[in-house]
Structure 1
Amino acid sequence: MKRSKKKNSQLIIRINDEDRRTFVELCDELDTSAAREVRRFIKGFVAKYEQEQNENSKKLE
């Protein structure tokens, strides 16, 4: 079984109250947490960037 990495860092962001409330309420409705969804976004964003970088470097070869 894959062992998850220890979560030992924080990312503090500023968003308006309405966006935060809407996001947290939606996460609750979907039975997930805001933190989980932010982590999922970050992982997907990084993976997409890395994939694009790999594709661009292959084009240069």
Structure 2
Amino acid sequence: MTELPKKTKVNKKDGQLLIRINIAERDEFIHLCDSLDTSAARELRKYIRSFIKKNQSADKQTKE
């Protein structure tokens, strides 16, 4: 039998970020995400991407 090549995910999420936050804020955030039919992880990834995009251009300007 020949082995099929393994499929690799293009956007494989292979990193973790551990943060410590107030339990009440965490619970409220999770509840809001649920009520908006999204996940906390999705919203945090979206925020991180926009933060990087916004600040990369500012960082490039200060280095010039």
Q: TM-score if structure 2 supplies the norm length?
A: 0.75
Query: How many residue pairs get matched?
Result: 56
In the alignment, structure 1 segments of 5+ residues that lack a partner are none
Q: What is the TM-score of this pair, normalised by structure 1?
A: 0.79
The 3-state SS of whatever aligns with 2:41 is helix
Report runs of 4+ in structure 1 exceeding 4 Å deviation. none
Give the helix-richer structure, 1 or 2. Answer: 1
Q: Which has the larger radius of gyration?
A: 2
Structure 2 vs 1, CA of residues 33 and 4 (structure 1 numbering), >3 Å: closer, same or farther? farther
2:59 to 53, 56, 60: 53
Query: Percent of aligned pairs with the same residue?
Result: 45
Alpha-carbon RMSD: 1.7
Structure 2: segments with no counterpart, 5+ residues: 1-8
Q: Paired residue for 1:26, among 20, 27, 32?
A: 32
